[in-house]
Structure 1
Amino acid sequence: MTRSTPPVPGAPGQTEEREKSKKLGSLKALLPFMRPYRSLLLAAVSALVVTAVLSLTLPLAVRRVVDNFYTKDAQTLDLYFAAALGIAGLLAIGTGLRYLLVTRLGERVVADIRKAVFDRVIGMSPAFYEKVMTGEVLSRITTDTTLILSVISSSVSIALRNLLIFIGGLALMLFTSAKLTAMVLLIVPAVVVPILVLGRKLRVLSRENQDWIAASSGNASEGLSAVQTVQAFTHERASQAKFSEFTELSYDAARRRVNTRAIMTVIVIFLVFSGIVGVLWIGARDVRAGDMTQGALVQFVIYAVMVAGGVAALSEIWGELQRASGATERLVELLQTEDAVVDPTNPRSLPSPVVGQLTFDDVTFAYPSRPGTKALEHVSLAIEPGETVAFVGPSGAGKTTIIQMLLRFYDPSSGRILLDGVDLAELRRDDFRKYIAVVPQDPVIFATSARENIRFGRPDASDAEIEAAAQAAAAHDFIAALPDGYDSYLGERGVMLSGGQKQRIAIARAILRDAPVLLLDEATSALDAESERAVQSAVDTLSQGRTTLIVAHRLATVKKADRIVVLDQGRVVATGPHDQLVSEGGLYARLAKLQFTEGIAAE
């Protein structure tokens, strides 16, 4: 099996990505999320400093106890024991407070990060999702933020505390015995070098591990979201093998990361405690020679152990910080990814009221994933308010692209698209999309009730309005027959509904929106003949006074349109009413002969 690294969105190339992962300071990107909680951060840092100072004070009390152990003044000895106990109590309270404050800060910051990332990706244009799997985005929102939570609520706090203990302990060691401290300092370079060298390698391996976890999540999400198709085509073993491959590559990266971290831990701890043993040996000789007291030696040893423990903890936490730094980079990439479609800095406003006049002005467009193939080429159309225009043509002719361009999911490569005389590129997307209702070719049903699925079209709609929309879409009867009626849970992606029922829910949603522009993309393709008649009647009523664009393969659906636009290979090849296009011959006449006449015969 060849090892490779999964692509990361927003990265120009893998070499650059790996170079980037070697830079230090990625965790600085978390500072803007911490800034709103300065008071909480200050309180947490204060508690951290107090507990570190108390930890450093405890050995001073222990020294007094040891040096006065054999004193005849029992009251003084009791006082030292009481002081030591008091310091221990304050240390316990301070540590608990530090944990509370730091953990609250971590939970709050990570919640804000998750919201910021979701807010960013939910507004990204479809071009972003042509290159990034949804499962990978979810992995970043969950797995990567969990790593950051671990760091903010635990690792950073412990690292700062151990850093303070290391610095303070080293200073107090120097105060206790300059000679022994100098010997301890001799081993510091030997400890720091492996931390820096192996720590850099850990950072790269941690980033690679997280990349593979995201790729694995993306693969699993894709397979599970299409589980019926996977099973229908007996693709389970191939899907299992692919997921297993991603998982094993993730494990392999994790194994190399763990091995590197274990080696670093062994080296650091051995060097640190070897130094302590050596210093203790020399200190014991000084006590025997009368150059220092027993209490002073005990105090020095405690400080040495605290300093050594701080260094060992820092080496452990360094690996966690490297992992979190890699996770932060990945989240920052999402937050900083530039969208192909952006709202203008100074948006214009639509004239009031919006009447639904649509204009395609010499529009040419190619999908980002297929830049060499024109989806639309020099398309010019003027659609009047209240006009019903149908788009027909073979698959791949550009019909659905027309709908996507009107919703400004993509921007034209050249040309303009106007609503009521205003270029869509000069408007905020949410400002003009609220005047458009759409029924997509593949209707989306959310994992909630039938009522809430329809209400998605207009969140402030009343229950009566929802039921009226369902009746207009010929959906009321089957919804009422569900176990809990309109409150029935429809399952993930509407698994409890048939294709036709899903489409009628989507039509009801569009009817409820009550927008001046209505877009129907194969809106009746999954309906039986009886339901299609009912829905077509509803659509005819709904389209009155509204600008309606209909995309359909079935020509019977578009026969009543005011105008039919025939597309072929992204170009407009003919326009006109049904009878005129049939009499002219050409592509529409051939489609009508193949399909429409047969449909009449079948009826």
Structure 2
Amino acid sequence: MNESETTKINAYRELAAKHVSAGRIIALFTPYTRQIAWVVSLLLVSSAIGMASPFMLRAIIDEALPQANITLLMYLAGGLIGIAALSAVLNTLQIVMSTKIGQSIMHDLRVRLYSHLQSLPLSFFAATRSGEIQSRIASDIGGLQALVTNTANELARNTSIVVMTAIAMFVLDWRLALFSMIVVPCSILLSDRVGKLRESLTHEQQVRLGDMSAAVQESLSIAGIILARTMGRAEHLIRRFSRTSQDVAKLEVRSHTTGEWQWQLIYLMLAMLPALTLLLGGLLLNSGAPATIGTLVAMIALQEQLLWPLEQLLVIGREMRTTRALFARVFEYLDKPVEIVESPDAVHFGRPQMRGAVRVENVQFTYPGALQPTLSDISINIPAGSSVAIVGTTGSGKTTLGYLLARLYDADRGAIRYDGVDVRDLSFETLTDMLGVVTQEPYLLYASVAENLRFAKPDATDEELIEAARIAQIHDSLAALPDGYDTLVGDRGYRFSGGEKQRLALARTILRNPPVLLLDEATSALDTKTERAMESALANLSKGRTTITIAHRLSTIRRADQIVVLQRGRIVEVGTHEELTSINGIYAALVKSGT
């Protein structure tokens, strides 16, 4: 094992020790204790019934056949058939019940992980590939499906069979039973060793599967295809994907073959056991010890009944070690801290109570891991119903301020208040009702136009959709489409142009009718004619509504009641367009540069 592999194994073991424990895994099953108890009861009854078969077999060999007692033979044969039929019914019931339990646990875990990811800070998604996130939800949790639906059931069933069969063997002949148990501790030790070897490989394999999932999502999206073809890099992407796929294939081979000779040694010991038992039984018979041929045959039958579930238990033990790696990856995400939380005493506003006054007080913010603050000592007073524009060069902190206003991050110092209430004290529902946000890169769902608009207001009528689209200057374009508002927008809205997507996003926000609008470069993709129409529409929309515009194109904000100029995270100028141009400062320079 080279140094790189040792480092990976140590890193995985540290990850597993931090996030995974038996109690935490058992807790997934706790809500279904009653249903599990029923399954266990069925397993115990089925195993107990199965114990009678070898004793009936001994009676057939030692009594019914030698005495030619056909009546006894018929009863015993009928008993064996009845036991088999009853066991089949009980096994069917417990398999159906355990599968339902397993799928419920899978559902709970998927929803729990998805819900937790929805509450994680924006910084997590900025630093994590979406393909990796999808891999954790789909591939990792999918890999656990066998454990919670089949393995847990098989573990309980095979354990009960092994215990009951072992008891029957000792009742039948304690000497032969004790001899049969010699292979058990040796097999368990070897199986555990193989499981440890394969566990870290499984984790590494899932990491590479995540890489492959991310590569597929990035390169086979519409944007990825356009980039690859226009740059002539399709062959490069194919080679990169091929290397990742080859790594996955190699890890797949290693995860299934590492320790295989030790595993075959287990099979050899189990295969030798019946022959050695027959040899020992023959020696006991020759020595005059109290034993019969029927006892020996019954013991071999019990061994067969013992060895198969014992083999399954060893396989399950090995698989449970490898699924620990999957639990480590899932629990790692579940343990990510939630930074933006709702206050226990959150303030709730009804829509009629909202005025839309916004105040930013001495705000400072530094991104995680950054050495310098992105924003420092930011103070802005925005009266209800007024319009303010935030301008500045690239990197001045405009968009970051928008993130803080929407509470996608919390300020390190200072406060942002809506109608006098700190944004951290507002309920999430009140904040989303208070503030409508349209970003520079609008996101559209893979759904119809109507469904995208109704994402903001599920109960919106068709008339409301049309009115919002008219205000956003997009209705005529939609009405001209063959399917109108039922048109599928395509992956990330690629059915529409950049300007059309921005107008759809604006219509979606307008539909919610928030008292405060935050427009982050919301008209950057519009042509001059549409932009002018939008300006007029927004002017009508902004009446009685607070509008905060983050703009790079200064032509869109000349009529703002207040213009705030940022530079290197600080406010350097505040005033109207006329006031700022007259002092011939930074804003005037931006205007002259044609920005």
TM-score by structure 1 length?
0.92
Q: Which residue is equivalent to 2:402? A: 403
Equivalent position amino acid for 1:44 in 2: V
Q: Which residue is equivalent to 1:99? A: 95
Equivalent residue runs for 1:514-525 within 5 Å: 514-525=513-524
Q: Which residue is equivalent to 1:230? A: 228
C-alpha distance after superposition, 1:332-362 (max 9, x if no partner): 2222221232222332345861111111111
Assess if the C-alpha contact under 8 Å between 1:21 and 1:203 holds in 2. Answer: no
| 2:473 maps to 1:478 | no
| 2:135 maps to 1:135 | no
Deviation at 1:175, TM superposition (A): 1.6
Q: Which residue is equivalent to 1:57? A: 52
Q: Which residue is equivalent to 2:34? A: 39
**Secondary structure of residue in 1 paired with 2:258:** helix
Relative distance call for 1:162 and 1:136 in structure 2 (3 A) is same
| 2:84 maps to 1:88 | yes
Deviation at 1:22, TM superposition (A): 6.0
Deviation at 1:522, TM superposition (A): 1.0
**Structure 1, unaligned stretches of length 5 or more?**
8-12, 597-603
| 2:270 maps to 1:272 | yes
Distance (Å, rounded) in 2 between the aligned partners of 1:354 and 1:529: 34
Distance (Å, rounded) in 1 between the aligned partners of 2:555 and 2:192: 72
Distance (Å, rounded) in 1 between the aligned partners of 2:130 and 2:22: 25
Distance (Å, rounded) in 2 between the aligned partners of 1:345 and 1:253: 47
Assess if the C-alpha contact under 8 Å between 2:98 and 2:153 holds in 1. Answer: yes
TM-score by structure 2 length?
0.94
Assess if the C-alpha contact under 8 Å between 1:389 and 1:549 holds in 2. Answer: yes
C-alpha distance after superposition, 1:517-544 (max 9, x if no partner): 0011111111112211221111111111
Equivalent residue runs for 1:406-485 within 5 Å: 406-485=405-484
Equivalent residue runs for 1:348-427 within 5 Å: 348-350=347-349, 353-368=353-368, 370-427=369-426
Distance (Å, rounded) in 1 between the aligned partners of 2:32 and 2:187: 36
Equivalent position amino acid for 1:562 in 2: D
Deviation at 1:70, TM superposition (A): 3.0
Relative distance call for 1:461 and 1:54 in structure 2 (3 A) is same
Deviation at 1:556, TM superposition (A): 0.8
Distance (Å, rounded) in 1 between the aligned partners of 2:407 and 2:212: 32
Q: Which residue is equivalent to 1:499? A: 498
Equivalent position amino acid for 2:418 in 1: L
- Bigger shift: residues 483-492 or 371-380: 371-380
Q: Which residue is equivalent to 1:321? A: 320
**Secondary structure of residue in 1 paired with 2:51:** helix
**Secondary structure of residue in 1 paired with 2:574:** strand
Q: Which residue is equivalent to 1:247? A: 245
Equivalent position amino acid for 1:403 in 2: G
Distance (Å, rounded) in 2 between the aligned partners of 1:363 and 1:377: 6
Relative distance call for 1:33 and 1:580 in structure 2 (3 A) is same
- Bigger shift: residues 502-511 or 50-59: 50-59
**Secondary structure of residue in 1 paired with 2:442:** coil
Deviation at 1:92, TM superposition (A): 0.9
Q: Which residue is equivalent to 1:190? A: 186
Assess if the C-alpha contact under 8 Å between 1:350 and 1:420 holds in 2. Answer: no
Equivalent residue runs for 1:191-206 within 5 Å: 191-206=187-202
Deviation at 1:463, TM superposition (A): 1.2
Distance (Å, rounded) in 2 between the aligned partners of 1:362 and 1:383: 14
- Bigger shift: residues 456-465 or 83-92: 456-465
Equivalent position amino acid for 2:52 in 1: T
Assess if the C-alpha contact under 8 Å between 1:265 and 1:316 holds in 2. Answer: no
Assess if the C-alpha contact under 8 Å between 1:265 and 1:315 holds in 2. Answer: no
Assess if the C-alpha contact under 8 Å between 1:27 and 1:325 holds in 2. Answer: no
Distance (Å, rounded) in 1 between the aligned partners of 2:230 and 2:46: 62
Q: Which residue is equivalent to 1:599? A: none
* Aligned counterpart for 2:141 among listed residues 145, 170, 173: 145
Relative distance call for 1:429 and 1:232 in structure 2 (3 A) is farther
Relative distance call for 1:409 and 1:46 in structure 2 (3 A) is same
Distance (Å, rounded) in 1 between the aligned partners of 2:68 and 2:554: 110
**Secondary structure of residue in 2 paired with 1:446:** coil
Deviation at 1:14, TM superposition (A): 8.2
Relative distance call for 1:523 and 1:4 in structure 2 (3 A) is farther
C-alpha distance after superposition, 1:227-249 (max 9, x if no partner): 22233223323333333333333
Assess if the C-alpha contact under 8 Å between 1:71 and 1:77 holds in 2. Answer: no
Aligned length: 588
**Secondary structure of residue in 1 paired with 2:297:** helix
Relative distance call for 1:250 and 1:457 in structure 2 (3 A) is same
- Bigger shift: residues 308-317 or 48-57: 48-57
Distance (Å, rounded) in 2 between the aligned partners of 1:475 and 1:435: 24
**Secondary structure of residue in 2 paired with 1:460:** coil
**Structure 2, unaligned stretches of length 5 or more?**
none
Equivalent position amino acid for 1:132 in 2: T
Distance (Å, rounded) in 2 between the aligned partners of 1:130 and 1:517: 26
Equivalent position amino acid for 2:161 in 1: I
Distance (Å, rounded) in 2 between the aligned partners of 1:592 and 1:533: 18
Assess if the C-alpha contact under 8 Å between 2:119 and 2:340 holds in 1. Answer: no
Deviation at 1:284, TM superposition (A): 3.2
Relative distance call for 1:570 and 1:450 in structure 2 (3 A) is same
Distance (Å, rounded) in 2 between the aligned partners of 1:323 and 1:566: 56
**Secondary structure of residue in 1 paired with 2:436:** strand
- Bigger shift: residues 425-434 or 523-532: 425-434
**Secondary structure of residue in 2 paired with 1:468:** helix
Assess if the C-alpha contact under 8 Å between 1:445 and 1:453 holds in 2. Answer: yes
Distance (Å, rounded) in 1 between the aligned partners of 2:20 and 2:308: 25
Distance (Å, rounded) in 1 between the aligned partners of 2:9 and 2:514: 46
Deviation at 1:66, TM superposition (A): 2.1
Relative distance call for 1:234 and 1:377 in structure 2 (3 A) is farther
Q: Which residue is equivalent to 2:293? A: 294
- Bigger shift: residues 78-87 or 44-53: 44-53
Distance (Å, rounded) in 2 between the aligned partners of 1:566 and 1:536: 21
**Secondary structure of residue in 2 paired with 1:214:** helix
Assess if the C-alpha contact under 8 Å between 2:51 and 2:165 holds in 1. Answer: yes
C-alpha distance after superposition, 1:171-201 (max 9, x if no partner): 2212212222222233333212112222222
Q: For the aligned residues, what is the CA RMSD? A: 2.3
Distance (Å, rounded) in 1 between the aligned partners of 2:512 and 2:274: 75
Q: Which residue is equivalent to 2:567? A: 568
Distance (Å, rounded) in 1 between the aligned partners of 2:127 and 2:575: 39
Assess if the C-alpha contact under 8 Å between 1:65 and 1:77 holds in 2. Answer: yes
Equivalent position amino acid for 1:464 in 2: E
Distance (Å, rounded) in 1 between the aligned partners of 2:9 and 2:565: 44
- Bigger shift: residues 186-195 or 436-445: 186-195
Q: Which residue is equivalent to 1:113? A: 109
